[in-house]
A and B are shown apart, each in its own frame.
Chain A
Amino acid sequence: MTTVLQVVGLTLTTFGVSFLLIAALGVWRLPDVLSRLHALTKADSAGLALIALGAACLKGRPDSLLVLGLCVVLVALSGVTIGHLIARAHLSEGDLE
């Protein structure tokens, strides 16, 4: 049982890390603010959720799921809001020019 959980946890964490890597690549390579934001916000929340799920599997205790879930919810929430704010600031800057 533990080994199954560990394998699942490691797989999920690997997927999560690769999501984050792709997000970083997107921020690095994409040309303008809005498309960078697009790469960042989605892959970021998904990657973190996968890593948290994997970590919960590796930990093997259900109560750690609560704390990790809280982390994921808070990061997703602030990611959404900050993405919105950056896009808004970018667009209003464009209006001024």
Chain B
Amino acid sequence: MSLAFDILLAFGVVFTAAAALGTHDRVASIAGFVVTGLLVALSLVRLGAPDVALAEAAIGAGLTGALLLRSAWRLKPAESRVSPAIDRIIVALIAVCLSGALAWAVYTAPGAALYPALVSERLAESGVTNPVTAVLLNFRAWDTLLEIAVLFVALILVRIVAPAHPQPVVLGELMLPFARIVVPMCAFLAGHLLWQGASVPGGAFQAGAILAGGLLVLMLGGFAVLTPRLLSWGMMVALLGLAVFAVAALSTEALTGTLLLYPDGAAKIWILMIEAVLTLSIAAMLCLLFCGMPRRPLNDV
């Protein structure tokens, strides 16, 4: 029974991806991509990774889909020059070989699982009971710190290169009641995900993505206009996450002599503090990445 479900789901993933990649209509392609993302999230749940599934549904399908749709009416389509048939056949052959080799390599790879034993052995001292959160914020917190730095660098890049665009049109009278219910609900859900991330699937990234969704409803509905003042506040909040994380890393270095090794017994407090700031900062960053930041001339900064 569950095998039939797996087969159907895997077929659905590949089929929707093929539909998304096979069409020349951009909006249809993006819609197919979002559906693929949601089906992939479901298959990640089947693969026993609900944390990743939450992030894929919120960020991979939702926010990326929104980003692509935003750019679909800004970017002019390329002149549709079809590559010659012989090229396409060669590329298709290479692609088939590539995916065959990849499947064979992954399937036959010797599975000497090293990490599960290590993680479960040290889980008790990590301060949280969800192993994924323990890896992200304790065992390999260094990676997460660098990840936030990468997000911030991407934000600065967007800030520098993105051309200015006119504000979107006002979206009609149903947006106000929608925002009134959805935005508080997003804030509530983000808090819930953040808190439960310590023990069950959830955490700062998922919570930040949901909060960013709520902020985008405000922006796109025209309830919050991105004035220079608001923009600089947003940048401050975005920087805050990186700053707090870096300060935490340095103070753990001072307290325990090792970078990002939390003091004994206080790991839970440290993780929760860092995650709470990260949630706000990730929400601000994702929202600003979407808004693209209207550039203004240098003299009125």
A78 to chain B: which residues have CB within 8 Å? 178, 182
Contact of A77 with B181 in the complex, beta carbons under 8 Å: yes
Contact A88 B172 (CB under 8 A): yes
Inter-chain contact A85/B171, CB cutoff 8 Å: yes
Interface of B is mostly: helix
- Which chain A residues border B178 with CB–CB below 8 Å? 77-78, 80-81
Give a binary string over A76-87; 1 marks a CB under 8 Å from any B CB, 0 the rest.
011011001100
Q: Are A81 and B174 in contact (CB under 8 A)?
A: yes
The verdict on A74 contacting chain B, using a C-beta distance below 8 Å, is yes
Task: Tell me if B149 is interfacial: C-beta within 8 Å of chain A.
Answer: no
A77 to B178 alpha-carbon distance, docked (Å): 7
Chain A CB within 8 A of B160 CB? no
Contact partners of B171 in chain A: CB under 8 A: 85, 88
**B182 close to A84 (CB less than 8 A):** no
Give, as a whole number of angstroms, the nearest-CB distance from B31 to chain A.
Answer: 12
B219 adjacent to chain A (CB < 8 Å):
no
A29 CA to B131 CA, complexed, in Å? 48
| B97 proximal to A (CB < 8 A) | no
> Is B124 interfacial (CB 8 A cutoff)?
no
Chain B neighbourhood of A74, CB < 8 A: 182, 185
Q: How far is the CA of A78 from the CA of B213 in the complex (A)?
A: 13
User: Which A residues are CB-close (under 8 A) to B240?
Assistant: none
**Chain A min CB distance to B133 (Å):** 21
Least Cβ–Cβ distance between A88 and chain B, in angstroms: 5
Residues of B within 8 A of A (CB): 171-172, 174-175, 178, 181-182, 185
Report, nearest first, the 4 A-B pairs whose CB atoms are least far apart. A81-B178, A84-B174, A88-B172, A81-B174
What are 20 A-B pairs with beta-carbon distances under 8 A?
A: A74-B182, A74-B185, A77-B178, A77-B181, A77-B182, A78-B178, A78-B182, A80-B174, A80-B178, A81-B174, A81-B175, A81-B178, A84-B172, A84-B174, A85-B171, A85-B172, A85-B174, A85-B175, A88-B171, A88-B172
